[in-house]
Amino acid sequence: MSKLSDSNECDWTFEDAFQELEAVVARLEAGGLTLEQSLETYEWARELMAWCQKRLDRAELRVQQLTESGELKAL
């Protein structure tokens, strides 16, 4: 489990992160992890969730900024 970054150096796509989040949730739901593994996995899931939410928030802002002509307007 690596740390996600908001920098441009991070080459994850939203789809990559969301797919990883789904896999992490499946591991947690399957059980069989030690307490420490469960905590680490949960922390990773929270980080992925926050990262994905930031991208969704940015996408929503871009949609809100679109004018009828399809150009971006400053808010």
The predicted-structure confidence for 34-70, as pLDDT tens digits, reads as follows 999 999 999 999 999 999 999 999 998 888 888 777 7
Could you give the CA distance from residue 43 to residue 48 in angstroms, rounded to a whole number? 9
pTM: 0.76
Check residue 58 and report its DSSP letter. Answer: H
Enclosing domain of residue 28: 14-65
Predicted confidence (pLDDT) per residue in 19-32, tens digit: 999 999 999 999 99
Question: Could you tell me if residue 60 is inside a domain?
Answer: yes
State the Cα–Cα distance between residues 39 and 43, nearest whole angstrom.
6
- Inside any domain, residue 2: no
Radius of gyration of the CA atoms of the chain, in A: 16
Domain membership of residue 1 (yes or no) is no
Residue 42 inside a domain? The answer is: yes
Number of domains in the chain: 1
